[in-house]
Amino acid sequence: MVGVFYLQIYPQKFGNMSRISYIYFVMRIKQIFEIVDKIGTRIIEHYGVSKYRKEPPQLIIIDEYSEDEYSNKDKGIVAEYISEENTILIYRKVVSSEEELIRTLIHEFQHYLQSPIWMTRYYNMGYDYQTHPYEIQAFREEENWKRFL
């Protein structure tokens, strides 16, 4: 448990790491833990809890993309909110900075707050990722990232 997020880490190719790779992996994970611990509570205190969920989302740090997720990596996707599981997945190897991690947590937390029914409904109405009202709102909220430092 880190702050109010339940945090898990899934290093999918952990067994094949050299000692240097392992040390880098642990250092990067430690940095992510520290950032999440520092700002996770602030994000929840600021935005509150979702009226669609009983508890905050689980945060899972993924070390590698699975085979079917490589298309997301090519698109530069850093994270995603999975509504059915109330989970935010962060792809560790794509996160490039503290700012990007904070923006990502804010963005995905917005999806936790939003109606899952309307998320789907907007896509069914013809909106795409760039024009979807919930995505526009989440990107707008990212601009407040310095508030959580």
Instruction: List pLDDT tens digits, range 49-100.
Output: 999 998 889 888 876 655 555 445 556 678 999 999 999 988 877 788 889 9
The answer as to whether 1 is a domain residue is no
Q: What local confidence, expressed as pLDDT, does residue 120 receive?
A: 96
Q: What range defines the domain where residue 129 resides?
A: 6-148
Q: Which residue has the higher pLDDT, 90 or 137?
A: 137
pLDDT of residue 65: 54
Cβ 32 vs Cβ 62: under 8 Å = no
Query: What gap in Å lies between CA 3 and CA 17, rounded to an integer?
Result: 29
Domain count of the chain? 1
Query: Tens digits of per-residue pLDDT, 37-52?
Result: 888 889 999 999 999 9
Q: Give the orientation angle of helix 98-113 with respect to helix 19-47, to 10 degrees.
A: 50
In a domain, 14, yes or no: yes
- Is it the case that residue 103 has pLDDT exceeding 90? yes
